[in-house]
Structure 1
Amino acid sequence: MLIKKGAEANLYLESFTKVLHQAGKGKVVMKTRIPKRYRISELDIRLRESRTAQEAKLLSDAKRAGVLAPIVYEVDRRNMRIVMEFIEGKQVKLVLDKLRSAKRRELCRMIGRQIARLHRAGIIHGDLTTSNMIIRPDGRVYFVDFGLGGYDSSIEERGVDLHLLKRALQSTHFRIADQAYAEVLSGYREEFGEGAEEIIERAKDIESRGRYVSKEERAWR
């Protein structure tokens, strides 16, 4: 069943037994990268294959870094497909504005700590929005969709990651954006430790000089 149609990939929700093994149970998400007709065919195949493999690796490495992310069950490089754990819950986008102030602060700090773990591991998410964060009924937050992610330990790219989140908060949660971002940074500082302030200052600098990298541009990296 198609659950999301995107510019880069489509997401399908299927049963574990149908896709992987009869002994399994529950549901899985299949992410399939779609062909781009404007690209030369050989280049398109190479790009989709490498991005499929890299996203699977990013998800696995994120988990090793202590970040909550879906388990990768299968990587099919021929069909440009990743089969991964289905995370039951709601997008943070749908709940953040409705939370009481104390709960919202707690959630945002948790998000900040997870971003810091990614960055300490040299991982850039590339699309930090509250649409790509799933909150489970037990309160744990999972990061999903690493399709625009990559490996980079530079202050600049870490700053861009934070800046993109701030822009997303201002766009989707404008009423509480400043408070939410401040709490994210609080959690980020706690978890990242020494060097966090330099990254946060770089994010401010990126904002002041108007650097913004569109999804389309990031997709070509």
Structure 2
Amino acid sequence: MTLIKKGAEANLFLKDFSEVLYPDEDERVLVKRRIAKDYRAGKLDKKLRDYRTSLESKILSDAKKAGVPTPTVYRIDRRNTQIVMEYIEGEAVKEFLESLDPESRKELCQTIGEQIARLHEYGIIHGDLTTSNMIRNGKGIIYFIDFGLGEYNPSVEAQGTDIHLLHRTLKSTHFSVAEESFGAVLKGYREILGENAKKVIRRVKEIERRGRYIGKEERSG
């Protein structure tokens, strides 16, 4: 088992399929194991990790039902608070977004917007919409990964915050193409939700205004 990412909440391991599931399979799986927190009481910590593990597994499955490509969950190990899931081989959108030609980038971002809309239509909030958590596989399919901060919340505020986070990521990580990319995301979002998208997009703008106002207050203080 190979550690491929060490995070604040969970570690990711790459493992042979035969080690954890079927002995005659030669594919690899991803094992996401939640980390115990020493600052929390033992029973509470285990309860929280168990809850987040179960919730993330359900969200991954429901996102797929909503029409959004996500890793298939193979096993939930509640004793060790870990999920065994499909390993998506590909490249994070973060790595190639800026190198695309404008038309290809627009098409990609519209697809991302459509997928976000499908999540929201199903009542799912991703919670960490960054270009690092979107993977393009060899067939050109965009997978959404890492729903560790996800939740079920149909409120306009939660949906607006979800999209605002992506906009903020685009501006900080992909500054040169941020606005054109975000515009294409919103176009894709509208394509799926129609009139219902308007109130969410308005809320995104409100959230961004709040952020600017708070920033000014902090600077003046």
Structure 2, unmatched stretches of 5+, are: 213-221
**Structure 1 position 195, deviation (Å):** 0.9
User: TM-score by structure 2 length?
Assistant: 0.94
Q: Which residue of 1 aligns with 2:105?
A: 104
Q: Which residue of 1 aligns with 2:44?
A: 43
Q: Which has the larger radius of gyration?
A: 2
For the pair 1:70 / 2:71, whether they are aligned, the reply is yes
Aligned residues with identical type, % of pairs: 57
2:84 counterpart letter in structure 1:
V
CA–CA separation in structure 2 for the residues paired with 1:54 and 1:48 = 10
Q: How does 1:110-121 map to 2 (within 5 A)?
A: 110-121=111-122
For the pair 1:150 / 2:167, whether they are aligned, the reply is no
Q: Which residue of 1 aligns with 2:195?
A: 194
Structure 1, unmatched stretches of 5+, are: 212-221
Q: Which residue of 1 aligns with 2:173?
A: 172
Q: How many pairs align?
A: 211
User: TM-score by structure 1 length?
Assistant: 0.94
CA–CA separation in structure 1 for the residues paired with 2:22 and 2:141 = 28
Indicate the SS of the match to 2:83. Answer: strand
**Structure 1 position 137, deviation (Å):** 2.1
CA–CA separation in structure 1 for the residues paired with 2:97 and 2:141 = 14
CA–CA separation in structure 2 for the residues paired with 1:66 and 1:23 = 30
Indicate the SS of the match to 1:198. Answer: helix
**Structure 1 position 139, deviation (Å):** 1.3
CA–CA separation in structure 2 for the residues paired with 1:41 and 1:194 = 47
CA–CA separation in structure 2 for the residues paired with 1:19 and 1:168 = 35
Q: Which residue of 2 aligns with 1:182?
A: 183
CA–CA separation in structure 2 for the residues paired with 1:152 and 1:25 = 38
In terms of fraction of residues, the more helix-rich structure is 2
CA–CA separation in structure 1 for the residues paired with 2:27 and 2:14 = 10
Q: How does 1:75-94 map to 2 (within 5 A)?
A: 75-94=76-95
